[in-house]
Amino acid sequence: MSNDTNSLLSVRGVHAAAGGKPILKGLDLEVKPGEVHAIMGPNGSGKSTLARVLTGHESAEVTAGEVLYKGQDLFELAPEERAREGMFLAFQYPVEIPGIANSTLLREGLNAIRDHRGESELDAIDFLQIARAKADILEMDHAMLSRAVNYGFSGGEKKRNEVLQMLVLEPTLAILDETDSGLDIDALKIVAKGVNALRAENRSFIVITHYQRLLDYIVPDVVHVLADGRIAKSGDKDLALELEAKGYAWLEEGANA
């Protein structure tokens, strides 16, 4: 394991449990600025648990290890502080919140982040201009902004809405948890376009996916396989093709041997 001080994110020997059951069992991961990491792995292997550990969901109970984000102890930060420091999670299952408009959530979030950075708050008009421009990138109807957060959205609309939020909040580290699941190829291309529009030297991505397909559009620097609570294998984008062809069984056998 490298202890590269240039890393944006260093996950070191993290053990975590969910519902009392150990899920992550000594996970290491280094993400440098500008990199795109893909994490693949069988269902139930702990990919979402990793995302929850990183964003501070209380159901993911960290039992050992440490995570440094921008050089600071991540576990010292509350979920909103992580967000204000530039962390963003596109949820695998976005939460429906009736009664709160998308634009309200986004404006509150963006202004909290701006405030944290010492920038002035955006008024409603300036904010709407930004939000509408981002919606255009994703070919989303502006009316989506005034609808209640994810409420009554189709699966595809929810995923696209997560990407919209990411574009507006412009994170430093974006974690996408199966944002491609359930999308048809056109929707998938639009989501990839949104991600690629954000790619920059100082911005990193962790793309959790089940399917190699997404990685044709969002080309990763590194591909990891998560199995039995650890990174079982890492490689370049060809690893994703190999996994697609062979499945995960060979890895698990290897790990158990």
Partner 1 sequence: MSVATVQATAFEADFERFERGAGASAPDWLHAFRRDAMEKFRAQGIPGPKHEDWLYTRTAPLARNLLPFAPRAAQIPGSLAAHRFALGLEAGPRLVFLNGRFEPSLSNGEGLPEGVTLVHGAAMRGEEEHAHLRAELGQVVDIARHPFAALNSAFLYDGFVLHVPPGVVVEQPVQTLFLHTPVGEAVSVHPRLLLVAGANSQVTFIEHYGIDCIGALAGAPCFTNAVTEYVLEAGANVRTIRIQREGTNTFHVGMTAAKQARDSRLDHISLSLGGAIDRNEIHVSLDEPGAECNLHGLYVLGHEEHVDNHTVIRHQVPHCKSTQLFKGVLGGKSNGAFTGRVVVAQDAQKTIAEQANHNLLLSDHAVTETRPQLEIYADDVQCAHGATIGRLDEEALYYLRSRGVGPRSARNLLVHAFASEITEAAGDQQLIDGLEMLIASRLEGRANVPEEA
Ligand X SMILES: Nc1ncnc2c1ncn2[C@@H]1O[C@H](COP(=O)(O)OP(=O)(O)O)[C@@H](O)[C@H]1O
Among candidates 43, 52, 42, which has minimal Cα distance to 18?
Answer: 52
> Is 97 an interacting residue with respect to ligand X (CB under 6 A)?
no
Torsion sign, CA atoms 199, 179, 225, 13: positive
Of the residues 94, 194, 220, 229, which one makes contact with partner 1 according to CB under 8 A: 94
Q: Return the amino acid letter for 169.
A: L
CB of 72 to Mg ion, least distance (A): 27
Q: For the chain, how big is the Rg over CA atoms in Å?
A: 18
From 50-58, 122-130, 206-214, 248-256, give the range in contact with partner 1 by CB under 8 A: 50-58
CB of 251 to Mg ion, least distance (A): 17
Of the residues 18, 62, 77, 112, which one makes contact with partner 1 according to CB under 8 A: 112
Torsion sign, CA atoms 242, 1, 27, 204: negative
> Is 49 an interacting residue with respect to ligand X (CB under 6 A)?
yes
| β-bridge mates for residue 227, sequence order | 230
Of the residues 10, 48, 204, 212, which one makes contact with Mg ion according to CB under 5 A: 48
> Is 46 an interacting residue with respect to ligand X (CB under 6 A)?
yes
**219 CB-near residues (< 8 Å, 6+ apart):** 36, 237
**Burial (Cβ within 10 Å: 0-12, 13-18, ≥19) of residue 199:** middle
Residues lying near partner 1 in the complex (CB under 8 A) are found at: 55-58, 78-80, 82-84, 88-89, 91, 94-95, 97-100, 104-106, 108-110, 112-113, 116, 148-149, 165, 169
Residues lying near ligand X in the complex (CB under 6 A) are found at: 18-19, 21, 23, 41, 43-49, 59
Residues lying near Mg ion in the complex (CB under 5 A) are found at: 47-48, 92
